[in-house]
Amino acid sequence: MNKNFYITTPIYYPSAKPHMGHAYSSIVADFFARLKRIQGHKVFFLTGTDEHGQKIQRAAEKSNKDPLEFCNEISKTFRDLSSLLNLSNDDFIRTTEKRHSLAVTNLWKILEKKEEIYLSKYSGWYSVSDEAFYNEDEIEDSDGKKISKSSGSQVEWVEEESFFFKLSKWQEPLLKFYSENPKFILPESRKNEVISFVKSGLKDLSVSRKSFTWGIKVPSKKDHVIYVWLDALTNYLSALNYPNETDKLFQDFWPANIHFIGKDILRFHAVYWPAFLLAAGIKPPQRVYGHGWILSGDEKMSKSKGNILDPIEIIDTYGLDALRYYLLKEVSFGNDGNISKDKLENCINSDLANNYGNLCQRVILFCEKNIGLKIPEKYKLTNDDLSILNDFKENEENIIKQINDQNINYYVEYVVNQLFKANKYFNDQAPWTKKEDILRLNTIVFVSLELIRKISILLYPIIPNTSLKVLNIFSMKEKDIKFDTIKDNEYLKDKKEIIKLGILFTKIKK
C-alpha cells in the first residue's frame, strides 16, 4: 500500500476576511490529515490563497490598494486563521508566488504545444464573484439584473478575444474516467450531477481574459491573462515543485489523494481540472469530495448577505476544539449544515463536558484518591472487561473502511458511543464499592484508563488540543499517537504513573 497521502483544501479568495465556510473546509481537511498521519501515512497537507483574477482586482480597487498589497494583507488573515484552527498543514501556497506562476506558465505551454488551446473570441455571460462563465440556460432575471441560477451572483456580458481550451474533446474521455474511477467524485449524489452535466455536452472553455491585467500572463500573448481557475487549480501541482516532475515532493505525492472542496466549486475540480490534466498528460487526482455549505439560518453565508458567522469570534468565546467538534459531528458530511450559538452550547455541554470531560475527571479523581495517581500494576481482566476493551479491535477495520469513504459521521458516532459505554462501565462497575477487593478496584481503574487512552486517540483528529492534554497524563506526546494502538488492551501495562488533569470543558450555563 502506498503510504504517502496528499490532501488539500481549496485555496481561498483573499477578497474579504475568512468566514465559517472557509474554516469548515479547512477543519475537515485537517481532520483527515491528522487521521492519516496517526495511521502511519506520510502526509502532505496543503492550503493557501487564490489571489489573481478580476474579483480580487476589483476588491483591491475598491479599497484603493495595489492588488498585491491588498492580497498580502488579506492572505495573512487566512494564514493566521490556519494557525488559529490548529491546522497541521505542511505548506501554505499563494498564487502570487514565483513557484506558482512557473508551474502555471509551464502547464499552459504544454497545453498550447499539444494544440489543446486555440485563439478565438468569447461572447457570453461571466460572473466575477464566481469567476465563472455561464450559458444562457444557466442564468435568470432577478430585479432587473441577470444572475446565475446556481449561485445567485450577478453576471455581466463579456465580449473579447480569448484563448479556448478544447474541453468538448474531453467529454468522452472524462465519462470513461468517471466510470473507471467510481469514487473519483464523492458524495455519490454530487457525482451524478457532474456526470449528467458532462453528458449534456461540454463546450470549449475560455481560458484567458483580456479586459484586466491582474493575473499570470499568457506566455505567447502578453496582453492576455490566464483564466483564474486554470491558474488556481494548478496550485495543487506547484506546491509539489511541478514542473520539476523528478522532484521528490512531486514523485511522492502526485496524484493527490483527495481535494476537499465545497459543492459550489465541484465543476471546476471534477470537470475542468481532470480535463486540463489529461490533456497535458498528467495523472488526475484520485478523489474530489464536494462538501455541503455551512448555513447561517437557512442561507449560505456570504458577504453580500451580511450573515457571516465569524470563526474567530466563536473560537474566542467557546474555544477551538468546541468549534471543531461541532462542525465535524453535527454537520452531516456531504450535506449542508447549520451552526448557531445555541446548538454549539448544547453540544459542548452534553458531549464535551458531560461525556468526555466527565469520564476523564471521574476516573482520574478516583485513581488519585484511592491509588495515588498510579497505573495499577496488578490487575485481572474479566470477560466483561475484555468485551468493552475489544470493541475497538473488532471495529477497527470497519472504522478505517468508513473513513476511507470520508464517512466522518460514522467515525464520530463510534467515538461518542464508546464514550457512553466507558461512562456506563465506570458507573456499573462502581469501583468505590470495591475497596475491600483491591485487585478488582485496580482492574476497573486500569480498564477505565485504557478506555480513556483509546478514545482520546480516536478524538485526536477531531479535537487535537484536548486529546493531547488527556494523553499527556500518560506522558504521551503527539509523536506517540498511533491509531493502531487502539487494539492494544494493555498499552499502559508498563507505565507507572499518571499526571493530574485540569478541567477540560466548562459547562455553559443556559
Q: Does 264 bind ligand MSP (CB under 6 A)?
A: yes
Contact call for residue 392 and ligand MSP (CB under 6 A): no
- Which one, 25 or 57, has the nearer CB to ligand MSP? 25
Query: Contacts for 181-186 with beta carbons within 8 Å, 24 or more apart?
Result: 181/286, 183/287, 183/405, 184/270, 184/274, 184/284, 184/286, 184/287, 184/288, 185/266, 185/270, 185/287, 185/288, 185/290, 186/287, 186/288, 186/289, 186/290, 186/334, 186/405, 186/406
Residue closer to ligand MSP (CB basis): 208 or 418: 208
Kindly tell me which of 201 and 297 has the beta carbon lying closer to ligand MSP: 297
Q: Which residue from 217, 300, 469, 482 is in contact with ligand MSP, where contact means CB under 6 A?
A: 300
> In angstroms, how far apart are the furthest CA atoms of the chain?
89
- Does 12 contact ligand MSP by CB under 6 A? yes
Beta strand residue intervals within 115-155, DSSP E: 117-127, 132-134, 139-142, 145-148
Which one of residues 21, 215, 284, 431 is an interface residue with ligand MSP (CB under 6 A)? 21
Question: Which one, 63 or 338, has the nearer CB to ligand MSP?
Answer: 338
Q: Which residues are within 8 A (CB) of 177 and not within 5 positions of it... i.e. 6 or more apart? A: 184, 274, 278, 284
Residue 11 is a binding residue for ligand MSP (CB under 6 A):
yes
- 339 interacts with ligand MSP by CB under 6 A: no
State which of residues 301, 327, 331, 504 lies at the interface with ligand MSP (CB under 6 A).
Answer: 301
* Grid coordinates given for 193: 450531477
- The distance of closest approach from Cβ of residue 252 to ligand MSP in the complex, given in angstroms and rounded to an integer, is 21
Rounded to 5°, angle at Cα 154 from 149 and 156? 110
CA gap 356, 182 in Å, rounded = 38
List the x/- string, 201-240, binding to ligand MSP by CB under 6 A. -------------------------------xx-x-----
Pairwise CA distance, residues 100 & 368, whole Å = 56
**Residue 387, CA atoms < 13 Å, CB-side half-sphere:** 5
Whether the bond between 255 and the residue before it is cis, its omega within 30 degrees of 0, is: yes
Q: Which stretch binds ligand MSP (CB under 6 A): 7-15, 104-112, 387-395, 436-444?
A: 7-15
Stretch that binds ligand MSP, among 181-189, 262-270, 376-384, 445-453 (CB under 6 A): 262-270
C-alpha cell at 231: 491558474
In a 3-state reduction of DSSP, which class is residue 226? strand
CA terminus-to-terminus distance, the chain: 50
SS3 state of residue 350: helix
Asked if 48 is part of the footprint of ligand MSP (rule: CB under 6 A), the reply reads no
Contact status: 91 vs ligand MSP (CB under 6 A): no
Q: Does 265 bind ligand MSP (CB under 6 A)?
A: yes
User: Does 289 sit near ligand MSP (CB under 6 A)?
Assistant: no
- 507 touching ligand MSP, by CB under 6 A: no
Q: Which of 6, 24, 32, 44 binds ligand MSP (CB under 6 A)?
A: 24
Name the minimum Å distance from CB 487 to ligand MSP.
Answer: 35
Distance (Å, whole) CA 186 – CA 189: 8
Q: Is 312 exposed, middle or buried (0-12, 13-18, 19+ CB in 10 A)?
A: middle
**25 is an interface residue for ligand MSP by CB under 6 A:** yes
Classify burial at 253, counting beta carbons within 10 Å of its beta carbon; exposed 0-12, middle 13-18, buried 19 or more.
buried
In the three-class reduction of DSSP (H, G, I as helix; E, B as strand; rest coil), residue 144 is classed as coil
Q: For residue 294, state whether it binds ligand MSP (rule: CB under 6 A).
A: yes
- The answer to the question of residue 293 lying near ligand MSP (CB under 6 A) is yes
Is residue 50 a contact point for ligand MSP (CB under 6 A)?
yes
Which of these, 134, 171, 153, lies nearest to 55 by C-alpha position? 153
284 binds ligand MSP (CB under 6 A): no
CA–CA separation, 174 and 227 (whole Å):
21
By Cβ distance, which residue is nearest to ligand MSP?
262
Task: Please select the residue that binds ligand MSP; options are 6, 7, 22, 355, rule is CB under 6 A.
Answer: 22
Residue 326 interacts with ligand MSP (CB under 6 A)? no
Instruction: Give DSSP secondary structure letters for 440-476.
Output: HHHHHHHHHHHHHHHHHHHHTTTSHHHHHHHHGGGT-
Q: How far is the CB of 256 from ligand MSP (least distance, A)?
A: 11
Q: Does position 93 bind ligand MSP by CB under 6 A? A: no
Instruction: Please report whether residue 133 would count as binding ligand MSP according to CB under 6 A.
Output: no
**Which listed range, 190-198, 259-267, 325-333, 482-490, lies at the site for ligand MSP (CB under 6 A)?**
259-267
185 counts as binding ligand MSP under rule CB under 6 A: no
Residue 46 found at the interface with ligand MSP (CB under 6 A): no
Name the residue nearer to ligand MSP (CB basis): 259 or 453: 259
Binding of ligand MSP by 311 (CB under 6 A): no
Coil, helix or strand at residue 133: strand
Going by C-alpha positions, the residue among 194, 278, 269, 271 that lies closest to residue 233 is 269
Site for ligand MSP contains 458 (CB under 6 A): no
Residue 271 as a binder of ligand MSP (CB under 6 A): the answer is: no
List residues near ligand MSP by CB under 6 A.
Answer: 10-13, 21-22, 24-25, 50, 232-233, 235, 261-262, 264-265, 293-294, 300-301
